[in-house]
Amino acid sequence: MPKRGSRWPRPPIGPSPLRVPASGRRTEIADEPAGAVAPPRAVRSDAMALAAEVDALRAKLTAARAKIAELEVKAEVDALTEVLNRRGFERELERSLAYVKRYGTRVALVYLDLDRFKSVNDRHGHAAGDAILKAVAATLVRHVRASDTVARLGGDEFVVLMWNIGEADVSAKTAALEAAIGAIAIRWQESVLSVGVSIGIVALGPPDRAADVLDRADRAMYARKRARAQAVPPRSKPC
């Protein structure tokens, strides 16, 4: 203890103080910046692995979404003819009705039913019938605009949604479609396959519902079919 009146000794100025452990060796105390803590190497490695796993999961999610979108499209397309099926058409019809109700756009629904198609199936088999259906679908797609919608409802029934078209124009267009489908001739073994078509037309209006529109178009088509049957003598040997 210092004598009375003396001062406590000041700490030495210079290098860091030395700690003398029991072993007798001196160990220098390292100066560290306040708050600086270096993460262990294992933690950095785990973080990098987690980031890579997140990136891989994101890539899988993107691929899964693309696959779902592809399957949704396929679910609305007829596998045989590659035009819309009934499900796809009903979606387009609902969209068209909503558009007509909001903007007053003129849209016509053309309903087609093939004539003599059953006799083709009965005489030549379903493969021949499939060839006819493919040819009809291709003919419809070629003879309508890109903005129009072609669909196969099932069996030998097709529909076309025609946008921005007046009554006179849609009548002329359906007459051209009747002629184009009637001109289809497919060589099948020793025969030439051909069919006719009956077409019903209805205009979409703001108060219409999808089921009502289809029912009116179906009735208009059958009225046309009866008129054609009365006007044209039956074929003695249908192909």
Query: Residues with catalytic annotation?
Result: 156
Those residues whose C-beta lies under 8 Å from the C-beta of residue 86, and which sit 6 or more positions away, are 151, 152, 153, 154
- State how far the alpha carbon of 144 is from the alpha carbons of 136, 181, 222, in Å: 12, 13, 22
Burial of 132 (0-12, 13-18, 19+ CB in 10 A): buried
Under DSSP, the state recorded for 21 is -
Phi, psi of 70 (to 5 degrees): -65, -45
Burial of 96 (0-12, 13-18, 19+ CB in 10 A): buried
Under DSSP, the state recorded for 29 is P
DSSP string, 167-229: HHHHHHHHHHHHHHHHT--EEETTEEE--EEEEEEEE--TT--HHHHHHHHHHHHHHHHHHHH
Tell me the three state secondary structure of residue 154.
strand
Q: What angle do CA 30, 34, 38 make, to 5 degrees?
A: 75
